[in-house]
Structure 1
Amino acid sequence: MLNAEGRIVTWNTGAERFKGYSADEIIGEHFSRFFSPEDQAAGVPARALNAAAHEGRFEAEGWRVRKDGSRFWAHAILDAIYGDDGSLKGFAKITRDITEKRRLEQATYESALQLKMLVEGVRDYAIYMLDPRGQITSWNSGAQAIKGYEEQEVLGQHFSLFYTEEDRARDMPTVALESSLRDGKFEAEAQRVRKNGSLFWAHVVIDPIFNQVGEHVGFAKITRDITERKQAEQELRHTQEALLQSQKLQALGELAGGIAHDFNNLMTVMRGSADFLLRQPDLPLEKRNRYLSIMLETSERATSLTSQLLAFARRQPLEPEVIDLSVRLDAVGEMLQRTLGSLYGLKFDLAPGLWPVEIDPAGLEAALLNAVVNARDAMPNGGRITISTANSTREQGDGVLLSIRDTGEGIPPETLQRVFEPFFTTKPTGKGTGLGLSQIHGYAVQSGGSARIESEVGKGTLVELWLPRTHKQRQVDRASARHAGLPPGLRVLLVEDSEHVRYFARQLLEDLGCKVVEASDGQDALLVLQEREFDLVFSDIVMPGRSGLELATQIRLSHAELPVLLASGYSSKQFIPINERKFPILRKPYKLETLAAGINQLIGAPEEA
């Protein structure tokens, strides 16, 4: 406590510890002795008393002096005390030693100042901050140099200001911020717009910023102008195109030679068979049919060769459908495994919830088969092939990525750059036409996507097809569904362990007007059958635990009148000898018409004329 003149009248142990004086030494002394000589000379103690007396309180921070002459940074509060008659009786004084706090604040300030100077001094990179909504809160000299805006022009503006009209229409700024929050970082290369309207190529990185308690407070954005690099890449492409142009005659020669060789072989068979049939009019029927079969098979091979040429030339007429790529690939998996044989492992890593694509399914299966066969041929002693799918956003938009990776011998760099050329092959004569990878490339481009390949000798090969996302809905052949003539509201229990195939089968059944309940395995199906009634059970055969055959047999015992239709990608002969077969089996992959026909045949529903 101080009296009205500022002299000390009480002294606690905290004061003694802070300032070094005992009570006997300090009581009666003026409190100004704790102030620095500079503050005393400037009259700071008197102003503090005067302010507290007139305003009731004085609060400040500043240097104070201990008994030993050392200084500390203090936070001081001086409250006036009045008597009942309103006269000033004295002051209550509270002092806190905040020297360490002051030191930390000063260190933080100096560090922030150094960082600010560093960021401000960088001119090759645009470095600035965004708030959580994407509005600009800071701007460095590099940002001004690259984008042309002064700081006062952009502070408070949304960073979409730098995007092209097309990217803003696709809401790419929002996608970038959401990706940064979700993945911890967003990185991309794209065109951006300067203040004068000119475009430049930018490499962009956006990082989310969080405070000490984990709250999201904004984004750090770094942009680098890579226009010169892109121009250099474009010049390199022009040079490569010129080189390819110089190689065109060589490619045309290989193309003509390949076509002539393959078609000469096919025409030799056709001409020889036709000539033999004309010269032998009385040929027994069995031999005549054999020659006709050979001619038919040869014509189909010629058609396939023409189709692959058209696909490479991007002239093959496509019949696109909106499909889920994972579902489609899951359905052809067993066929591909049979094609490979027992020496080769085939693994599927199919992402659920893929974006839909609009492609020709037959062309897709042909491209996939070509890639798998090429992979198999690159692994003469066996190996593993992995087929995977994933959603993929690229500069040209959203799409789906189909990857086929093998553990084979790999392709040398000098060969890799030519693998998409027609009739270019490293296989021995008679072992391949050289159209496999060119068909994949042609199909991808004709579908609006792209194909790429990467390989390293001794480490295998990766083939990727990127197919653009569609926002169209899957078209259902309603006429076929009506023609199927299934009883309306047919209650079907669908049993399938593959999530993708189960989803696909459910869509078909619902398109046929069925009410579908799903079960993921045989045990689950038996539990559902105890609780609900159904008109039909449609089950896969190969499932973990209880197989489809075991499930069908159990249903026959407990629900004797309930029809069961089984499905499998394998031949039914592998499971049940024909003379012992008790349940009809539908071959995978099936479509709406074959599924409807199988159900109709089982339940005996009359088809419409």
Structure 2
Amino acid sequence: MRQRVRNSTVLSSLDSISEQQRFQLLVNSITDYAIYMLDPNGHVTTWNPGAERFKGYTADEIIGQNYSIFFTPEDRAAELPGRALRIAAAEGRFEAEGWRVRKDGTRFWVNAVLDPIVNTEGELVGYAKITRDITERKKVQDELENTRAALIQSQKLQALGELTGGIAHDFNNLMTVIAGSADFLLRKPDLPAAKRKQYLEAITETADRATTLTNHLLAFGRRQAIRPEVLDLNVRLDAVADVLSRTLGDSIAIELELDPGASRVEVDAAQLETAILNAAVNARDAMPEGGKLTLSTRSLHENGSDFVALGISDTGVGMPRDVAARAFEPFFTTKAVGKGTGLGLSQIHGFAAQAGGRAEIQSDEGRGTTITMILPRTEKEQAALTEGPAMSELPKGLCVLLVEDNPQVRDFAEGLLIDLGCKVIPSESAEDALERIGSNGIDLVLSDVVMPGMSGVEFARHVREEHPQVPVLLATGYSDEVLKNGSEFAVLSKPFGAADLSKAMAAVLDEHAREFRRRPSAAGRV
């Protein structure tokens, strides 16, 4: 009976107070949130116990103060308090998370909401501010993020260890062949011609394999300079299928499932064919008793963009789920030592990513594997196919300024240029080359890109500005500057031979043919 009388008394009291008093009673009963009011200029006009509990100010201390007192010095310097008021007034709400400062100077992480208050005439009369202390939640999130970062770092270190070991293993094998062959040639100058040819061919073939290995590494890391061209993927796969049928043997049947609507892509043709070959070789190894390899294309539309999905499917032994999950990692391989570098599938991953797409793998034990490269589709027209000669003819007596900081590479390039009938002025730096170019009748500049001091690109720009009649050909094995920003100059990839060099020089000279013909003939200079 007493309890019922007491409740009736409370209800009677609540009925007798105004709506504003009810609201104030509600606000004052909340201690987990800071709920207070600001005037139009951001000064505190009300203060609840929740605000006092985790901000540390009593109502007498804080009412009349500008609410910017709660912000960090950095946020005040960035004028965040005033900007928050303006955004709330203009957009009807401002919400953010960030650090705030208690009375004792300690910081806490909050979720803050700021709402404008307008009167019946629509005039701004102040703001309602609700702040929640979420420091503990942020602490948990930060610990989770730190744990995730530590795991990623651990995985990176593991991958780096595998990468380093793989590189050391494969390059040491390659260097053994090169060094051994060179040693025989140096120690036994009277070797029969046939034997000398055998060792020289071994050096050449091994150098080509080293180049391929390097290109695979660059492709995996998306650091390879690409030469995109528009290709009809269906036509290219039809041609590739003929090559694969001879390469993989009679025990493997090759089928094509081509979507007529999935055709043109803009990719590096050499990398594309390498990726297809890598997938096909893996498929062959997975079908030791023979089987079927299917090359397919299909149209794909994702996130408002059109793609072409290129699939390479086999009927081989397949992979366990944990192996398939690591298949694109560099140097990860289940093959025996000496049977593969572990870079084949990682090259596919790198090629697809560098082309603006992605690579996927689906495999089931006993049911085969499908590797899919999803490549952006293009509406550009395919360029006419042209095939140049093995060597290009160069003007007789061409004077070439060769800029290369590596003495061995400089000597090699100088020998090639002389063999092509050129007069060569070697220089070991861009700064030295700039001093020589004005007084030596230079017809063409061949410069490395990555050099100490002034880079090859910077040097080429100086040449273009100060000697616009002199064409420039840049050479590089890898350059972040060229890769990220492209190049306004012709670029020759290292390593290169006489045919590559002569064709690149001829192309550069053709572009400058009009200016070149205005100059005195280079013929007769020796």
Q: TM-score, normalised by structure 2?
A: 0.45
Which has more radius of gyration?
1
| Larger RCO: 1 or 2 (CA < 8 Å, sep 6+) | 2
Q: TM-score, normalised by structure 1?
A: 0.39
